[in-house]
Amino acid sequence: MLIHPMPDPIALSIGPLSVHWYGLMYLAAFVQFIALGRLRIRQAHIAAVGWKKEDLDDMLFYGVLGVVIGGRLGEVLFYQPAYYLSNPLEIFAVWKGGMSFHGGFIGVMIAMAVWAYKAKRNFWDVMDFIAPMVPLGYAAGRVGNFINAELPGRLADASLPWAMIWPNVDTMPRHPSPIYQALVDGVLLFIVLWIFGRTPRPRMAVSGMFALGYGGARFFTEYFRTPDYEVAFAGITISAGQMLSVPMIVLGLLLLFLAYRKTGGNRLA
């Protein structure tokens, strides 16, 4: 039986300064955004509409604010409002983990709307451009969750080769759910979006594929993760993560419908 290694969440210490693995994963996410962005700019249909390397640096600044502020507020409001109401100073302890992707998604949308207004670009062109660069950053965050021994999986059959005991939870075999989410919601979705976005698509199509793909993938992988809480919906019990993913699935379908409604619509990223 595999046992979660429970590594020290602090990667290294320099005097009084401690660098957490979780923070390093976010740094890796931001670095890959720049690296993939530079590759995306080289694609002919992207270069044709005037995207530049300088745009990436500018968007990253706004995106970091959106991810951190939105992700943390999402965790506070969507998942643990009672805890943070009782411990308000913990809201600022982002190095301990606890970031909501759905909150970060909303935060990034707001940040990109601000940047699009400032840069005089269409909001959906911006979202279509950055969508393929997001999933690998998400995957890095899930690796950070695993290192921090967060988001333990549901109980698994002991015969499952990768079933794992989480010593901070109990001695029962569990699914390594953060790894599932890193691979499915992250790596697999990246592959799909990168291939989909390599050729010209109607405006909103790449954004729609991202919302639909992430919402569907997250809904699936939530079946292997211990739910933060569950809600009853139309006689069916779903987790908080699944409940928050349903609007993304609906949004994705709507954007794809609007994108392909007219033949020969605007072609962008």
The set of residues, in sequence order, having a beta carbon less than 8 Å from that of 180 and lying 6+ positions away, is 153, 221, 224, 225
Which region among 46-50, 94-98, 161-165 has the lowest average model confidence (pLDDT)? 94-98
Distance CA(152)–CA(88), nearest Å, equals: 25
Tell me what the mean pLDDT of segment 74-95 comes to. 81
Query: What are the pLDDT digits (tens) for 116-152?
Result: 999 999 999 999 999 999 999 999 999 999 999 999 9
Side chain identity at residue 76, one-letter code: V
CA–CA gap between residue 232 and residue 10 (Å, rounded): 39
Q: Which of 250, 235, 252 is nearest to 189 (CA)?
A: 252
Q: Where are the alpha helices (DSSP H) in 42-181?
A: 44-47, 53-74, 81-86, 101-119, 123-130, 135-147, 177-181
Is 142 part of any known ligand binding site? Answer: yes
**pLDDT at residue 1 in the model:** 82
Phi-psi region of 214 (alpha: psi -120 to 50; beta: other; left: phi over 0): alpha
Q: How many Å is the maximal CA-CA distance in the chain?
A: 61
CA distance 18 to 21: 10
246 touches 219 (CB < 8 A): yes
- Planar angle of CA 111, 37, 133, nearest 5 degrees: 65
Give how far the C-alpha of residue 37 lies from the chain's centroid of Cα atoms, to the nearest Å.
17
Query: Which tens digit of pLDDT belongs to each residue from 200-233?
Result: 999 999 999 999 999 999 999 999 999 988 988 7
Query: Is the Cα dihedral 63, 66, 72, 77 positive or negative?
Result: negative
* pLDDT tier for residue 95 given thresholds of 50, 70 and 90: low
Each residue of 144-169: pLDDT tens digit? 999 999 999 999 999 999 999 999 99
Is the pLDDT confidence value at 269 over 60? no
pLDDT on residue 264: 52
